[in-house]
Chain A
Amino acid sequence: MSTTALLRADRLTVHIGPIAILSELSFAVHAGQVLGVIGPNGAGKTTAVEVLSGFRRGTSGDVLLDGRSIARRSPTQRVRLGLARTFQESPCIDGLTTGDHVRLALSAAPQRSAKTSVAAMLERVGLAEHHSSAAASLSLGDRRMLDLARALACFPRVLLLDEPFAGLNSEQEKRLEAAIRSHTNAGGGVLIIEHRLALLRDTTDTVIALVQGTCVAAGSMQEVLDDARVRSAYLGQAG
């Protein structure tokens, strides 16, 4: 295994006034591996993804893709460099069809593909029949799969998935797991934020736990869940 991580977060810090949303957060996503990110609400998980993907600027710290800093790059540039993400709300563009969203990503991706790839992409996520439907008319679960398809259509090396399992039925969950697996088999890396720990158990290789903006535990799923600080954060939350 190479020592250079595919994606590395180096002491990410995000301050809003006196409040630290992220504090010296460091972790790495390696090629062919899945990193899980867990933590109570408000821990800063989505913020971390926002900073990694360029939608938010950190107060300090660096983001490195293949060892090279991309902290100054715009989100679009990061996509072109191979970093794609999904969104918690799975937004879509009114007026465009499902197929359009995938075509959009494909046309911007370095490997330009013919129209067949749109169908293939949609087939992978189970949306083939919705090819010409307005994206806005899709159900929530379908929109999440479209978001995934759009991210995959960027042919990324690293996938950042923000609570991708929420709102999916079991067939869609299987498709998502399959997509993650084939991505890692091809040498890509994945970062997943998830609350449904049972799902993460089988998919991830390493897990980190975020509490109040810092990483309090890292390791396998079991190790992290056994960690006292993680337990208190979760159990304290449930109160």
Chain B
Amino acid sequence: MKFADAWPRRFRPDVSLLSVAILIAVAPALLGGTRYAYDMAVVAMVYGMFAVSWDLACGTTGELSFGHSFFVGTAGFTAAIVISRFDVPPWAALLIGAGAGALAGLVIGLLTLRHTGPVFTLVTMAAQLTLYRTVFVWGSLFGGEEGIPVRAQWLDEPRSRWFVVAVISFASVVGARYLLRSSFGLRLKASGGDRRVGQSAGVDVDVTRVKGFTISGFVAGLAGSILVLHNAIANYELTGDQLSGMIFLLSLVGGMGTLVGPWIAAFLCMTLLRELLYAAGQWQSVISMLVVFVLLWLMPKGVMPEIAKRLRWRPRLAGSRPS
């Protein structure tokens, strides 16, 4: 997505990254400064990473993945299994989980290689549903309905855990942004368009796409592993359609392709929205979904692009794309 030419190029990224940093910094205090607040912020930052990972894969190629929880689930369960069965220390488990996520990304990249549009979406759905079902079917490994409890000492002090996750989450946004600005990022965006153009520019479209998915899987996997450690459990929710659907919708609300938009949308949903709706009890999920629906209805391209458009106070320069 292109920001207004009104902003000098160097100034632009700082504003959005700054917003992320500010949100990270103030959230715990605004939420009450309690242990609960810090824990909530951790989950929110993890969801932010989920959204960034989705946007890395989908905002660039233009495909719509409904199965992102396939990455999260693969990574989360891998981390849980290595911790609970093989006594792997938590930091190593995080990396192993992230690696498993990358592998899942690779698999999806290969499975969806020549497919676009609805076929792509269906394949991601099929993969996610397969894993979901396997969690119950292969109960001995995946823990079935109860899941796998994860007992590990990992940054048990809420503020230190929050700080580490904050650094990782922010780094993932910055890293993703840097990646998309690089020539690899350009190739990734090209791989979502007419194949011929990319190929005739010397870009191996297929390889680039697979690499993109692998990286996306890595980020989602890292986040998923963190979540498992944080919640001390890995269960079917990690690979469910609820999670996939939320990641998908929140990324769209934020603004597909903006990276920061999805992060902020996910973060705000898991902090602000949750807090505001606390009183609604069981109707929480319904009201959040209603908010998402209304936001998508009002701003189909996402909140971030809409804001960028509104802030464009200079008359449009000749040759820029009409909205």
Q: In the complex, A touching B, CB below 8 Å?
A: yes
Most chain A beta-carbon contacts within 10 A, residue among B187, B193, B205: B193
Cross-interface CB contact of B189 among A75, A79, A95, A136, cutoff 8 Å: A95
Contacts of A129 in B (CB 8 A): 318-319
Q: Does A85 contact B (CB under 8 A)?
A: yes
* A116 CB to nearest chain B CB (Å): 15
Mark interface residues in B180-216 (1 if CB within 8 Å of A CB, else 0): 0001001101101110111111111100000000000
Contacts of B322 in A (CB 8 A): 137
With A132-B5, A137-B322 given, is the CB distance from A105 to B189 under 8 Å? no
Contacts of A96 in B (CB 8 A): 186, 189-190, 193
Binding site secondary structure of chain B: loop
Contacts of A151 in B (CB 8 A): 200
- Contact present for A76 and B321 (CB under 8 Å): no
Interface residues in A, total, Cβ within 8 A: 36
Q: Which of A91-136 contact B (CB under 8 A)?
A: 91-97, 100-101, 103-105, 107-109, 129-130, 132-134, 136
Contacts of B321 in A (CB 8 A): 133-134, 136-137
Cross-interface CB contact of B204 among A76, A103, A154, cutoff 8 Å: A76
Mark interface residues in B273-284 (1 if CB within 8 Å of A CB, else 0): 000000000000
Q: Does A15 contact B (CB under 8 A)?
A: no
- Contact present for A75 and B2 (CB under 8 Å): no
Q: Does A80 contact B (CB under 8 A)?
A: yes
* A141 CB to nearest chain B CB (Å): 14
Contacts of A137 in B (CB 8 A): 319-322
Contacts of B193 in A (CB 8 A): 92-96
Mark interface residues in B153-192 (1 if CB within 8 Å of A CB, else 0): 0000000000000000000000000000001001101101
Q: Does B62 contact A (CB under 8 A)?
A: yes
Contacts of B183 in A (CB 8 A): 103-104, 107
* A70 CB to nearest chain B CB (Å): 14
CA distance A129 to B192 in the complex (A): 26
* B218 CB to nearest chain A CB (Å): 23
- Contact present for A53 and B189 (CB under 8 Å): no
Contacts of A144 in B (CB 8 A): none
- Contact present for A93 and B190 (CB under 8 Å): yes
**Which residues of B approach A to under 8 Å, CB–CB?**
2, 5, 62, 183, 186-187, 189-190, 192-194, 196-205, 257, 318-322
Instruction: Enumerate 10 A-B pairs (CB-CB under 8 Å) in ascending A order.
Output: A74-B199, A75-B196, A76-B205, A79-B200, A95-B189, A100-B190, A103-B186, A104-B186, A104-B187, A154-B201
